[in-house]
Amino acid sequence: MYCRNCGEKLSLRFCENEGLVPYCNRCENYMFPQFSVAVSMVVVNRAQDKILLAKHAEDEDFILFAGYVKKGENAEKTVPREIKEELGLDVVKAKYMSSRYYQPKDILMLNFLVVVEENRPIKLNEEIAEARWCTPEEALQLIRKGTTAEQFLSNAIKELKRKI
């Protein structure tokens, strides 16, 4: 482990309430491990009876729309920005649902249920090969199984029955 500021090799030092934490002797600072934050979005129409799923060109399965939170941005801003970038649609409202830490890539995923305005045709950006409106039942069939996205989707569907 090396310092992200100066490149010095880090050593472990005891930090109160934290235990052993990587420490840079040159910067004289603790270097807490970093992780990314992203939003995962269950996109629904205004009537809240259809869910929009995404598919990448190289994949068979469908996934949820997602995007990284930019440095300095709050997650409530990330949601409409990503929906605009990926779909060209406006967000009517968004509700925070829950979060999960994705260990393999060190990403904290924040899940939102997002209602979009459908008065415009979808304009996909190049990252996404297909976007498909599905009933909740179809969405559960199409989503990649055993994933965080599947869990977020099934929670969102329970929430939709109450309307957000």
Please report, as ranges, the residues that interact with Zn ion according to CB under 5 A.
Answer: 3, 5-6, 8, 24, 26-27
* Residue 5 tokens, joined: 């500021």
Nearer to Zn ion, 5 or 36 (CB): 5
**Whose Cβ is closer to Zn ion: residue 5's or residue 98's?**
5
Show the tokens assigned to 117. Answer: 């305005």
Quick one: 15 or 129, whose CB is closer to Zn ion?
15
CB 22, min distance to Zn ion, A: 10
Residue 67 near residue 94 (C-beta atoms within 8 A): no
* DSSP E strand boundaries for 46-161: 51-55, 65-68, 91-102, 107-116, 130-134
**Nearest distance in Å: CB 34, Zn ion:** 14
CA of residue 77 relative to chain centroid, distance: 13
CA distance 13 to 62: 44
Q: Which is nearer to Zn ion, 11 or 141 (CB)?
A: 11
Q: How far apart are CA 111 and CA 34, in angstroms?
A: 20
Q: Which is nearer to Zn ion, 29 or 98 (CB)?
A: 29
The C-alpha R_g of the chain, in whole angstroms, comes to 19
Residue 13: CB minimum distance to Zn ion, A: 13
Could you tell me the smallest distance in angstroms from the CB atom of residue 72 to Zn ion?
23
Q: How far is the CB of 108 from Zn ion (least distance, A)?
A: 25
